[in-house]
Amino acid sequence: MKRYFGSARVQLIVLFVGGILLLGLIPMKRHIDPTAATFGLEVRNDTSRVVILKQCGNDCRSFHKRVRLAPGTSAAENASDESDVTQWFLVTDASDHPLGCIGLRFDRKLEGLVIPVSHMGGCRQELFP
């Protein structure tokens, strides 16, 4: 009777398959479900004028979404909890003149987060190539 687990080839295959199974148990930084690493928040217009909140694409010359916010109103947004991802928003007035930018970067999920528009800062140069 032959011993199948005694040959070097079979041992190598068993180690390879075992390694693949073990790697499947190790948590990865990136998630398969794109919503698993996000959480909801609000951006609130706490200013006295209408603003346009524009979610930047790869830069702030193209946009995924635009939301008009009257004074005192809010927009629901999603943010990533992966610290290497910054989501940028360009804030403009109703005439489309830039007022500033809001950058969202978090390393954990936060419940009930409200970002006031008045906390916008300057826009980074690399957002406008």
What would the pLDDT profile of 66-75 be if each residue is shown by its tens digit?
999 999 999 9
Domain assignment present for 30: no
Side-chain half-sphere exposure of 26, counting CA atoms within 13 A? 8
Which residue has better confidence, 21 or 125? 125
d(CA 87, CA 55): 8
Cα 91 to Cα 6, 31, 111: the distances in Å are 68, 30, 24
Is the model's pLDDT at 27 over the cut of 60?
no
CATH number for position 69: 2.60.40.780
Domain assignment present for 15: no
Domain assignment present for 27: no
90 is in which domain, residue-wise? 38-127
Structural domains counted in the chain: 1
Express each pLDDT in 59-117 by its tens digit: 898 999 999 999 999 999 999 888 888 899 999 999 999 999 999 999 999 999 999 99
Instruction: Give the tokens for residue 9.
Output: 């080839």
Q: How many helices (H) and strands (E) does the chain have?
A: 1, 7
Domain assignment present for 14: no
Helix intervals (H) in 1-129: 8-25
Is the model's pLDDT at 36 over the cut of 80?
no
Cα 114 to Cα 12, 106, 124: the distances in Å are 55, 14, 22
Domain assignment present for 88: yes
